[in-house]
Amino acid sequence: MSIKVQQVDNWRWRIPREGNMRTDGLVFASAAMMAVLRHEQALEQVRNVATLPGIVGPSMAMPDIHWGYGFPIGGVAAFDADEGVVSPGGVGYDINCGVRLLRSDLHAAEVRPVLDQLADALFRNVPSGVGSHRRDLKLSLSETRKVLKLGAAWAVKQGFGAAADLDHIEAGGTIPGADPELVSDRALERGHDQLGTLGSGNHFLEIQQVEKIFDEAAAQALGLFPGQLTVSIHTGSRGLGYQVCDDSLRTMLRASQKYGITLADRQLCCAPLTSPEARDYLAAMAGAANFAFANRQLITAWVRESFGQVLGKGPADLGLGVIYDVCHNIAKWETHEVDGKMRRLCVHRKGATRAFPPGHPETPPAYRAIGQPVLIPGDMGRYSYVLIGTAGAMRETFGSTCHGAGRVLSRHAAMKQARGHDVVGELAKRGILVRAAGRATVAEEIPEAYKDVAEVVEVVEQAGLSRIVARLRPMAVIKG
């Protein structure tokens, strides 16, 4: 199907409403990005999302857009509380896949001589790869249900971190309304021994250095300085979240038929937000999201432990504090101004990040003067960015922005391109150490598999959705 696309300005492209669309599509991209996107299925997915009942505002996609299940990855859509729907395809399989950034009091230069030992310690202490688990942390199913209810607060209560960590996590590390009883036994079985693990695919643990500061005042508020060592954690809800999504799809297909919802794509199966099916999904999804928050909290504890082991320094000297922790795949109840009126909406962000502005009550007090931190990882060979949310995002995208670089090569294509290359050796020559559970993951995640994240963040900054604060350069990468 040929998708009509109209250029609005240098950074915005409209897919005009036609046929069974209930609203326009709106894609944030550069001209170069759109030249490629015109030949991909992701734009059709933006169009399809615009057909869903009760959608408020346009069906949107961020510049890291690429094809996904149902919604495009990079997709954002908001739905009216009374007339709208919730769709698991608008959240994704890896519920609350997200990023956490830790600051430190360390300079990258002082750590470089022991970087090998640090990488080894992190690879040893933080399990990675398919089916990975910590042998010394196996939860009963009843304890796992507590994790689903409490999120990161459960981990802190068990001694994995401090209460101050919770002040720097989206939603305080606990999505309200979780009901563990609505999570299947199969999901619990898959997740109970995976807490505190990275998993595989594009998930990673990365030691970084602050390479460049773009906004001095904001960087100071975030505790960032040039040459500083930081640590980034990118993972989600593991097998538990995958199973919650998988379980919900059958229910949602039946619900779509039950409530007479015509689907442009079966992968957009959904249920009215007022229905019991929607309430059950949101309660199970919240449980999986809380599992992901707890997962990143435990990994944070083991990062701190690993640094202490190698550097022989205590917590006060390391200063490994949480800057922020953001969700990428979530549907959340939020209040937004629409046409001059405040409305309660269910905002789907699928491979997109919340970007609330200065002064917003959900922005942590420490950052209320500058806006919510936005963490945008790139590929393992280039750089990542720290941004902050803006009033522009609140007006135009329900407080949303991009979430990463976005793939340009499938995993199969990336592996094919990596043949004959010593990817780990090539990265080592550039000063980037890699520890991975298998060569296949490294091949799938070659830098060439992703867009240049600098081009992605330029779009959202120029469009007024976020402001760039700092660029981070990888030093050591732990992969599944």
Q: What is the mean pLDDT of the chain?
A: 95
Q: Which CATH number fits domain 6-479: 3.40.50.720, 3.90.420.10, 3.10.20.310, 3.90.1860.10?
A: 3.90.1860.10
Other C-beta atoms within 10 Å of 395: how many? Answer: 14
Do the beta carbons of residue 229 and residue 102 sit within 8 Å?
A: no
Proportion of the chain above pLDDT 90, given as a percent: 86
State residue 135's pLDDT score.
60
Q: Range with the lowest mean pLDDT among 188-197, 286-295, 341-350?
A: 188-197
- Euclidean distance between CA atoms 128 and 479, whole angstroms: 7
Whether 403 is catalytic is yes
| Rounded mean pLDDT, 116-130 | 89
State residue 220's pLDDT score.
98
Alpha helices in 127-193 (DSSP H): 141-150, 152-157, 163-166, 185-191
Indicate the angle between helix axes 276-311 and 141-150, nearest 10 degrees: 100
| Rounded mean pLDDT, 114-136 | 83
| Rounded mean pLDDT, 456-467 | 98
So where are the chain's domains? 6-479
State residue 132's pLDDT score.
65
- Euclidean distance between CA atoms 232 and 373, whole angstroms: 13
Encode pLDDT of 135-156 as tens digits: 667 788 899 999 999 999 999 9
pLDDT band at 400 (very low <50, low <70, confident <90, very high): very high
Encode pLDDT of 352-375 as tens digits: 999 999 999 999 999 999 999 999
Indicate the angle between helix axes 238-258 and 276-311, nearest 10 degrees: 170
Local structure of residue 274 (DSSP, 8 states) = T
- Euclidean distance between CA atoms 191 and 94, whole angstroms: 12
Q: Choose, from 66, 192, 336, 403, the residue flagged as catalytic.
A: 403
CA atoms within 13 A on the CB side of 295: 38
Would the CA dihedral through 275, 278, 281, 287 be positive or negative? Answer: negative
pLDDT band at 129 (very low <50, low <70, confident <90, very high): low
Torsion over CA of 296, 300, 306 and 311, rounded to 10 degrees?
A: 150
Do the beta carbons of residue 296 and residue 190 sit within 8 Å?
A: no
pLDDT band at 224 (very low <50, low <70, confident <90, very high): very high
Proportion of the chain above pLDDT 70, given as a percent: 98
State residue 275's pLDDT score.
98
State residue 123's pLDDT score.
94
Strands 229-235 and 98-103: antiparallel
State residue 342's pLDDT score.
97
Strands 433-436 and 466-479: parallel
- Euclidean distance between CA atoms 40 and 27, whole angstroms: 13
| 278-296 exposure pattern, b = at least 16 Cβ within 10 A, e = fewer | bbbbbbbbbbbbbbbbbbb
Encode pLDDT of 89-98 as tens digits: 999 999 999 9
What is the distance of C-alpha 185 from the center of its chain?
26
Does the pLDDT of residue 1 top 60, yes or no?
no
Q: Range with the lowest mean pLDDT among 14-28, 54-68, 77-91, 423-437?
A: 423-437
Q: Is 181 exposed, middle or buried (0-12, 13-18, 19+ CB in 10 A)?
A: exposed
| pTM score over 0.85 | yes
